[in-house]
A and B are shown apart, each in its own frame.
Chain A
Amino acid sequence: MSNSGNPNSSDPAITSQPTLLTGAETLWATLVGEGVRDVFGYPGGAILPAYDALRKFPIRHILVRHEQGAAHMADGYARASGRVGVAVATSGPGATNLVTGIANAMLDSIPIVCVTGQVPSKVLGTDAFQEVDITGITLPVTKHNYLVSRTEDIAPALREAFRVAQSGRPGPVLVDIAKDAQQNSAIFDFEAAAPAPYRPHPMLRADSTSIREALDLLRTAKRPVILAGHGILHSRALEQVRTLAERGQIPVACTLLGLTAFPASHPLNLGMMGMHGESWVNQAIQQADVLIACGMRFDDRVTGSLATYAPNAKKIHIEIDPAEINKNVRVDVALIGDLKEVLETLLPLLPKRDGAPWLDAISAMKGDAAVRDIQQLPDNGHLYAAHVMHDLWRETNGDAIVVTDVGQHQMWEAQYYKHDRPRSLITSGGLGTMGFALPAAIGAKVACPDREVWVVAGDGGFQMTSAELSTIAQEKLNINIAIVNNGYLGMVRQWQEFFYDKNYESTPLLSPDFVKLADAHGIHGAHVRKRGEVVSTVQAARKHDGAFLIDFHVEQEDSVYPMIPAGAALHEMIRRPAGNPLVETASKA
């Protein structure tokens, strides 16, 4: 057993009555009161008082190898569980190392709270040892942050941080606590420190007029498409979106982060939209007459050229953040509010409609491009990433939490691993942070110890945070790792192939023997070079009690297809060249 639970845990009743505590004790007592059981962190001078008090509280601390890992773990923890993830770091470099992870959480609206130590309040602003203005640095990448210099402000700031992180459109919050505030004592009163209730954004607006307008559009729609985004998970509106789709017989296209918000096997699910979406998904959007955007933000990766985006569609945008309305795409009806609440108002008024003609038309578009069952392909000796993803999906029954890094493998995973369970794909969407997968998977596994967790990473991104293998070993976490190793920074190489005359500048990548690297950490591993070895090795990894790393040596210069070049129209895609063993495009229609 790893250090689950501390022998000297105090009574959870610590929050029940006002007590004199040090700031350090107050910090943990407040976290316990907020329901925190696990934190990811790294000690250091300015946060030492807090670490000194940690053993008195029923909190599991996972020691990371780099603070970026701590922030990503908190992020993965939050995505897997829906609860707030917590990262702890010291001042100065500890705090700055968090920044990439915080920005990642900001871009994907993930509720995390980062606690940093700060130099004593008396020397604030003097360039003291390991002092950095972390509230200043993180201002644009947090939803809010706090600089706490008095012990009595610790509990109110932390409690408000938890409220801010989770309410409205979620996001990361940082609480920077001066060392002396941790050392001094004050009365800790959990109840009195309660934050003021959530104050909804004053520009929320989903009134009866807008609802009626939306209903009118839906009622007369001939070719409607639902655009399913990450907000469905945040709002916990999965049932409502499903009802909307089923009652209206409306096909659903998902964003990358919305992929697990609607079951992949549902007959109305078209799949992923955007830059690497299937052609019929993007064609359906381009031909649609009504788009119902649910908790998504028309990111440039899903719209392609805005000038030609869904030119004939009336757009209904259901979104909790008013700043997203008309930001990229002008919409006709904006329902600004919590997605679940808006849909609950709208659904009872939505009549059933016959979607068959439109659904048939989309099915017809699939044509031979829909030949997705690559298992039928003869084994020609090559190992393609698509095979790996496909077999991984089959072998895990689509049931695992898959945590991907950023790049080609991320898109292949999105294309070939069919997710039916909510929150079963954890990936860095908005910021596109290489190095995310391994630490985020640790967070996911800590949050959901009973779930099967797979890391899917490229050989490039994996090396950015591979030090966290030690964390896996120390915490004895049963995480399986699939490295899609093509010897290149693959997505960059693909862009060089398409847009820079195959000038593969600085993309060929020498990597260590990942299996030996795993072995150095006491983690089992295996190389896979042939398609025939994929299934048996995945099975071996699943059977193995403990972490297991598989280094898949895949085709080196394979690309992700189809692809819409940045800035091109959604229907102008680059197709897989004919003659390639993956039949995705076959003949030209």
Chain B
Amino acid sequence: MLHTFVALVEDKPGVLTRVASLFRRLNINITSLTVGNTEREEISRMTIVAEAAEDRAHRIMASLYKLENVLEVDDVGRHSAVVRELALLKVASGPETRADLFQLAEVFHARIVDLAPESLMLEITGSASKIEGLVQILVQSNHKILEMARTGRMAMRRGHHTSRVVEALGDATPHTESALAGKPKHVALDLIAEEDQHNSI
């Protein structure tokens, strides 16, 4: 089955390799992996989608947690979550096919973000199946896809759920010259206490 994990990791060199290497070692192919900033400067967020037998989720999570740079792992596939992906599609298009593509874009809530004499570019956001739906229609309608780029999935749980790690950190002070930035960022839970100590000296 397709597993979707969200991992909060330290924003340091080599962390991506450690995570990727773990899946390589388990001989699991990563379907998609997106990494980006979070509301906190020192933490990156990964959404990892991988195909593996259902009972391997425990092993994958437990192994991810064994990586020193991994702060939190959530098996979001098992919860109600918003899952989105973005795709850019460059489609061959002259004056005679443009109207059809504009119509398709409207139906799929895609946007035309570039228009050239012989091609146009579509930007579409949504679930993987929505994107695949657009691709299928394009192909079946004999449109030529010149290039496609997909971000891979990003996921976030619905509702007021927040990770324990982030909760322990308190309110976010995103992307400022916070005192936290220069600290050894290892255990998030203890950063605040440590900072207080330093302030009192």
Contact = CB atoms under 8 A, between A and B. Distances in A.
Interface in A449-480: none
Contacts of A144: 67-68
Nearest to A163: B186
Interface string A141-161: 001100100000000100010
Given A140-B25, A202-B65, A323-B63, A196 B72 contact: no
B78 interface: no
B30 to A, nearest CB: 16
Given A135-B14, A197-B187, A164 B61 contact: no
B195 to A, nearest CB: 12
Contacts of B190: 196-197
Interface in B62-76: 62-63, 65-68, 72
Nearest to B55: A326
Contacts of B65: 201-203, 322
B184 A195 contact: yes
A196 B68 contact: no
A143 B18 CA distance: 11
A147 B67 CA distance: 16
A572 interface: no
B5 to A, nearest CB: 13
Nearest to A336: B62
A321 B21 contact: no
A196 B66 contact: no
B161 interface: no
B17 interface: yes
Contacts of A147: 13-14
B189 interface: yes
A180 B190 CA distance: 31
B184 A156 contact: yes
A134 B88 CA distance: 38
A524 to B, nearest CB: 47
Interface of A: 135-136, 139-140, 143-144, 147, 156, 160, 164, 195-197, 199, 201-203, 321-323, 325-327
Nearest to B64: A323
B63 A202 contact: no
A196 B58 contact: no
B94 to A, nearest CB: 47
Contact of A195 (B18, B59, B72, B186): B186
A327 B55 CA distance: 10
Contacts of B63: 323
Interface string B176-201: 00000000101101110010000000
A143 B59 contact: no
Nearest to B194: A196
A322 B57 CA distance: 12
A164 B186 CA distance: 11
User: What class of interface size applies to chain B in its complex with A?
Assistant: 20 to 34
Given A135-B14, A139-B21, A140-B25, A326 B187 contact: no
Given A139-B17, A326-B58, A202 B25 contact: no
B66 A323 contact: yes
Nearest to A164: B68
B187 A327 contact: no
Q: Which of B17, B21, B187, B194 has the most CB of A within 10 A?
A: B187
Given A140-B21, A196-B190, 13 more contacts: A139-B17, A147-B14, A164-B68, A195-B184, A196-B187, A196-B191, A201-B62, A201-B66, A203-B65, A323-B62, A323-B63, A326-B58, A327-B59
A134 to B, nearest CB: 12
Contacts of A160: 184, 186
12 contacts: A135-B14, A139-B18, A143-B66, A144-B68, A147-B14, A164-B68, A195-B184, A197-B190, A201-B62, A201-B65, A322-B58, A322-B65
A357 to B, nearest CB: 37
A321 B65 CA distance: 10
Contact of B58 (A135, A201, A202, A325): A325
Contacts of A201: 62, 65-66
Contacts of A202: 65, 72, 164
B165 to A, nearest CB: 9
A574 to B, nearest CB: 32
Given A196-B184, A196-B187, A199-B189, A321 B66 contact: yes
A202 B58 CA distance: 12
A322 B73 CA distance: 14
Q: Which 5 A-B pairs have the closest CB atoms?
A: A196-B187, A323-B62, A322-B62, A144-B68, A196-B186
Contacts of A156: 184
- Quick one: which of A136, A202, A203, A326 has the most chain B CB within 10 A? A202
Contacts of A321: 62, 66
**Residue among B17, B55, B58, B164 with the most chain A CB within 10 A?**
B58
Interface string B35-75: 00000000000000000000100110111011110001000
Contacts of A325: 58, 62
Contacts of B61: 203
Contacts of A139: 17-18, 21
Nearest to B73: A202
